[in-house]
Structures are given as C-alpha cells and as structure tokens.
Structure 1
C-alpha cells in the first residue's frame, strides 16, 4: 500500500494522534502538508449525467487523443471505438460522470473479436498506477491466455496525495456517490462499449484498492459477481483519517471501530477471496478476519457445507492456510488465505511491479480460478 516514505508519515501521524493533535495528523496523512510547492488542483466534476452516462477520451498507441464523445448504456457510438489501439494492447481513456472524472487503462486480449468476454476491474494500492499494478500482478498475461478484459482505474494525486482510493471517507462509501459511483460507472461504460458479459464482472484490489474493492462489493452487489481483497480493510469502519489509521493498526487504539463489529452494519452476499500476509506491518492481519466477517458466507443458510481448512506451501515460497466456506450446493462462497511470513505485498507477484512478493502463492491465478466459478444470475 505504501512504501518507506508513507510508513514514516504514518508513524508521525500515530504520534500526533496519541498526543491529541488530530488535525495535524489528518493533514499529514491527507497530504495537506505539501512535500513540494503547494496546493493541489481539485478534481473537476463532470456537469450532468449519472453512473450510466458520461464522457471519455481514448488515447491511441501513438499518444494522440481521439475526440471525446458522450456515451450511455443505450448508445451505439461507444467510446473506445474508432482510432483506439488494436486488440491485444493496453488502451488509455478517461471516464466522467456527475461525480467526477478518472483516467483508466484497459487491456484487451489478443483473442478479442467482439465476443462477450468477462471483465476484471483492478484497483491499485497507494503510490501505484495502472501500469505498475498490471506489471506486478501479471494480470494482462493471464487475460491473454484465459480471455478476459482488464480495467485499471487510476487514482490521481489531486484526489489523494498518495494516490490512495479514499475508502475511509463517508462520501466515498455509498452507492451512486463518490468514488464508488465513478468506478461502477466506468465499469458499466467499458462493458457497454466493448460488448462484454455483464454477468461476469469481477473486482480486485491491493491495500487501499482492496478496501475500495470490498466497498464496491457492498454497494454494487448487482454489478460484481465476485471480489478479490488483498491486504485490505473492511467497508464502512472508518469515517476519517484518524479512524483509518486506527483500523490499519488493528483497531486497538481509542478510535478502533468505536467498539463496533464491522459485520454489525454491513453484509454482502458477493463471493469473496481474501489474501493477507501474517507479517503485514502496514495493514494489520486481523483486518482479513474483519473483511471476511462482512460477507454472507460466514452466516450460511441451513444445510450449508462445513468450512474446510487446507495447509500448504508454494514451491520454494511461503506456507499458507486456506479456509473455504461453501453454500448449500457445495459451491465455494468465501476463501480466506493467510500467507505465513508474508508482508504487505501482492502474493506471487512479479518483481517488475511495486509491493509484490514473488514467493507466492500466486494470488492472481487463485483469484481468477475463484472468479470463473461465479457469475451474476440471469
């Protein structure tokens, strides 16, 4: 989620919080204390439209920008057509709706010929960007072999100084509002543009991106057929930066969850696969249990299969414990992977990206295996 610089910032914010200087701690974490020459420009909202309508620009392989055009779910003129890059390449674009705008990268596999492929939405962690996250997870390579598209929304520094998704803000934790509205609108936009399979749309993320992924599963269960949460946090348990800091540290401080259990207020029936290293010093490992507690699989209906626990070890890598919860038909609804000895990094990731741990197990492959078992009912 964050490197050495951000870790130092958080340590200082912790000290300020304990000293009762919450304003200074919030300003430090939010980036209001400038590291360079001053203030950031706000994200300008798009005037008009909703999560089904917006505008976007397509950046061609030569770097030129195709004409921006409005689109909607019913529109036949789809952004991404015309002069966009050919299939099998990364394309870049920008989506806007009534809430705001975000850039994105979209990977279209080499075998795409207009068929209704699945879509995986990948939300990067703090300080990362779509290219870095794609390189670290190797998701695009698997998209070519398994035939699906990958959408990488980009969080700008103007929205968060460290490019974190704002999972800890109340306005960014709701349906049809804040960042969830932009991300859901962007996903639907891409689905309509490329004729993708709306019943096979999945979302996954790392750290702050994982926290936002689980927020999307809570607020848009009708859109996402399954969710992957790597080193993430629960939905709705933080409403401010001091809250976020406390939750990330394990909720042991005075602000930790305010004495409430996350499952008391939120629940989702979206199938989930969760990864977390038990040596994570950035997001406390107990957050994996908190995330799991928000999903319906831990409150199974009568007749559901008993959970199974499997212990294993990646080849020349980390040992792990995988707990799987099933529905009454014996279908996996929740997998929780505890990676022994791993820190705050994408398990099994490539060294070509940041915050990765090549020692495995391979979270990318396991998430995709889990995703293909699930789709939205017709």
Structure 2
C-alpha cells in the first residue's frame, strides 16, 4: 500500500484508489498520473496499491477475489481503504476507484464485489466484472486466470447475464451500485474493443438504464460519448484509433466522483 496525503486535506477527505496496470506498481502509477498533483489543490487522499503477483497483474479471475468479503486482492484493497479512514482521516462515504488495464479490471471487480464501499469508478481499457473467470471456466481451465477469449473481446453475454454475474458476487445485497465511467480505444489489441460494449451492457443492467444519446468529439476530437439514462450513473467514452490504454482524464474522473 502506498498513499498520498496532501498537506491541506479535507476533513474528512475523499479517497481515490488509483490502480496500476500489469507490470506496473503503485509508485509507477503515482508518477504516471496526475491524481496526487490534483490532490494538493482539492484535498483528497490517493491510495496506490501494488499488486503482489510476480507479473504485476491483479487477481480478477479467482472466485475469492471476485466475491464480497471472500479475500484476495480485492479485499486487500478494501482493507487499505479501511486503514486510510482510520489513520489518515479518510471519508468512508466518499471512496472511489480508477485504474488502467488490469487496474481497470480490478476497478470493475471492486465495484461489483464492494458496492457498499465504492461510490463511483472510472475504468480505462478493462473487461467486464467476472469476464476472466467466466472465460477460464468456458475454456476448461482448472485455475482461472488470463484467457484470450475474454482478453480478445470474444466473451459475449446479454446485459442481463452480465448483470446477474455481478450481482452473484454479493448475494443478498440490496443497496445501490457505483456510478461508472467506461473508457476504451477502438484499436486496443491487448484487451479487445468488444469489451467496451460488454462492460457497458453489464453496468446498464445493474443500473437498469439504457442508451439515450451519443455525441461525437466528446470529450475531445476522435472520442464518442455514450450516455445511459440521464447520464448520472453510466457514461462510456470510445476513442477512435486509440490503442491500449486510453490516456487518463484525471479532471473528468474527479468531476465524476464529485470532487470539485
């Protein structure tokens, strides 16, 4: 666990969990993003977890990590949030997650398994919650892990099926789920572009909303914004010709999180 606490922070301070990609580290994601710089002016805390795996990827495929309070990497990150609340004055009611690639996958996992902890997420070039586990099972693998079916965007389900999968990871939960921003590039050949629509299908079902509008060149040239419902719970951004991964839009993330 690495943490950035600005000298002038809010009381209590919102918490942003910024989660690195495969081969990355917490300090690397600190250096490669501007969340800490923005924390200096906006007063929030940033947690930068480091994956314990040898390859630096997050466990987003085991039933343990996918399931509420079962353990694994997801529970470890939740423990970091608890620690920041207790020891650094973090606001338990304003906790958010964001990440790139493997970190994006973990953001979806956290939103699905711990909707009682996280209020919003921003996902840069990931896959749907549970996709790696489902794909591994389909492929007949004894141990869930990296699987090309999901990575290549070929794991296709109905919105209802994706939503039911996410709900299965926290049985009996009746509360609300985090609002989600979904980013993906059309030329992503590491985590295929098909994952963009599958992830949108998943969260649109969770929030029981449908696509209401699209807007070209938003938030910038070459991107298309897809708004679901009234835009308060789910928005997607597709980058034409953008590869893996979509550049981080920190200010937009913070606006989405409600951190002014």
User: TM (normalized to structure 2)?
Assistant: 0.83
Separation in 1 of the partners of 2:14 and 2:117?
12
Distance 1:246 1:122, change over 3 A: same
- Give the C-alpha shift of residue 313 in structure 1: 5.8
Question: What are the within-5 Å matches in structure 2 for residues 333-352 of structure 1?
Answer: 333-347=233-247, 349=248
Higher relative contact order (CA 8 A, sep 6+): 2
Separation in 2 of the partners of 1:122 and 1:209?
8
Distance 1:343 1:111, change over 3 A: same
Q: How many residue pairs align between the two structures?
A: 241
2:200 counterpart residue number: 292
The question of 1:280 aligning with 2:176 is answered: no
Question: What are the within-5 Å matches in structure 2 for residues 117-132 of structure 1?
Answer: 117-132=13-28
| Partner secondary structure for residue 216 of structure 1 | helix
The question of 1:149 aligning with 2:42 is answered: no
2:72 counterpart residue number: 178
2:102 counterpart residue number: 208
Question: What are the within-5 Å matches in structure 2 for residues 1-378 of structure 1?
Answer: 104-112=1-9, 115-156=11-52, 160-176=53-69, 177-239=71-133, 240=136, 244-251=147-154, 256=155, 261-267=161-167, 269-296=177-204, 300=208, 307-312=212-217, 318-326=221-229, 330=230, 332-347=232-247, 349=248, 363-372=249-258
User: TM (normalized to structure 1)?
Assistant: 0.59
- Give the C-alpha shift of residue 367 in structure 1: 1.1
Which has the greater radius of gyration?
Answer: 1
| Partner secondary structure for residue 198 of structure 1 | strand
- Give the C-alpha shift of residue 257 in structure 1: 5.9
On the 8 A contact 1:138/1:364 being kept in 2, the answer is yes
- Give the C-alpha shift of residue 265 in structure 1: 2.2
User: Unpaired runs of 5+ in structure 1?
Assistant: 1-103, 350-362
Separation in 1 of the partners of 2:231 and 2:157?
35
The alignment yields a C-alpha RMSD, in angstroms, of 2.6
